[in-house]
Copies of this chain bind each other. A is one copy, B any other.
Amino acid sequence: MSQHPNRARLLISCQDKPGIVSAVSTFLHQYDANIVQSDQFSTDPEGGMFFMRIEFDLGNSSPDFLRFKKEFHTLADKLDFEWKMELAARKKRMAILVSKEDHCLLELLWRWRSGELQVDIPLIISNHPTNKQVVESYGIPFYHVPVTRDTKEEAEQEVINLLKQHDVDFIVLARYMQILSPTFVESFPYRIINIHHSFLPAFIGANPYAKAFERGVKLIGATAHYVTDDLDEGPIIEQDVLRVNHRYSTQELRVAGRNVERIALARAVEWHTNDQVIVYGNKTVVF
């Protein structure tokens, strides 16, 4: 996981057309950048969408990263790319929003401290004080922003302000049991990751675990996705399941649900952190 200090990642989405890979790789070569890994996917070479992720190392005679990025801008404009270029060494600033349940929070904190998750965590916000102590034991500032029916709007604004003050790159809803307003969602497009349970068959509405129990499911699952205005219907990043059986009580199904949620969420956050995810339409390419 130690890396070349000048390693960068480039993500591109555009209409597919001939010559894209050639143009980009020739650009990189001309500027003395060395491709370490690249992935590419086209929904349809004739008129479909084209996606590319390139990891590369700037070379000795490359311009510095900012200048390099600026030069690339010209090419990108010409070829009509949506794109993003990041230094791998620059850690993203991740905020966590959490309510009372701590399983997803702790999974992320543990992976962060063990070095698996290469992010900075400038703050953690909760509508309950429950997790204050554990968060602070990790040396991370904890903000308690209570939400009541009457203060919902102000509370949300306070959360947005905190996130902006701390210059956050992306937000993980680690079981944050509040619905975000369109204003909130639009402030961080495809930069809010949520986790929710998922079942075969699906159980809509309240008490899904009670319904899953009634129905006698043999698998329970979790889906990590980007938050859009369409509640729980944003682009899926990762899904996983755990096997259960008739001996599981509703409460034990819930426990199994927690365990699959933290695994699926941690993977989704890691992929986002490493710039491995590109959104298109309502789905994701995960390179």
Contacts and interface: CB of A to CB of B under 8 A. Distances in A.
Given A215-B282, A283-B214, A39 B39 contact: yes
Given A22-B26, A29-B18, A246-B284, A4 B45 contact: yes
Interface stretch (A65-73, A141-149, A235-243): A235-243
A255 B283 CA distance: 20
A21 B32 contact: no
Interface string A184-223: 0000000000000011111000000000001111110101
Interface in A253-287: 255, 258, 281-286
A26 to B, nearest CB: 4
B217 A239 contact: yes
A284 B215 CA distance: 9
A156 interface: no
A39 B202 CA distance: 30
Tallying the copies of this chain within the complex gives 4
A182 interface: no
Given A22-B29, A41-B246, A246-B284, A239 B251 contact: no
Nearest to A237: B218
Interface string A20-59: 1110011011001011111111100100000000000101
Given A18-B59, A283-B246, A223 B200 contact: yes
Interface stretch (A102-110, A122-130, A161-169): A102-110
A220 to B, nearest CB: 10
Nearest to A198: B200
Nearest to A56: B45
A282 B223 contact: no
Nearest to A52: B38
A151 interface: no
A110 B103 contact: yes
A74 interface: no
Contacts of A153: none
A45 B34 contact: yes
B59 A35 contact: no
Contacts of A252: 1
Given A18-B29, A20-B35, A218-B237, 16 more contacts: A1-B251, A21-B29, A21-B38, A22-B25, A22-B26, A34-B45, A35-B42, A36-B45, A38-B39, A116-B255, A198-B200, A200-B241, A214-B281, A214-B282, A215-B282, A218-B236
10 contacts: A21-B25, A22-B29, A35-B42, A35-B45, A36-B42, A36-B45, A38-B38, A39-B39, A102-B114, A103-B114
